[in-house]
Structure 1
Amino acid sequence: MWVQQPVLRALLHRVEAMTTRHPEYLGQVVQARREELGLSKQAVHAAVGLNPRTIDKIESGQAGRIRNDTLPRLDTVLQWKDGSALDAFTKHLPPRVTAAADVPQPTSKVLYIPIPANLFQDTVAMAQRVTEVAGDDERLAPLVEGMNTIADRMLRAWTIADIEHQRFDGTLSAATIEMLLGHYLRRAPQAPTADDHTELLYLRWLLERLPESESERAEEFAQRWSQMQQTLSATRRINR
Structure 2
Amino acid sequence: MKTRGTPSTKEKTPPATHSPSPPTDDPPESPSELTQEQLKRYGGILQHRRVDELKLSLRAAADLVQMAHTTLRDLELGTRAPARALTYRKLDEVYQYLPGSVFNLYNSGQQPLRAETPTPPPPPRVPTTDFPVVLPLMSVIELIEADQLLEDKAQTIGDPELLALRETYARCTDRLMRAWTIAQIEGRRAAGYQDDRFISTLLTAQLARKPVAPDEQDRDELTYLRWLLGRAGELPPDDEARYAALFATRTQGRTDADT
TM-score by length of 2: 0.45
Say which one has the larger Rg: 2
TM-score by length of 1: 0.49
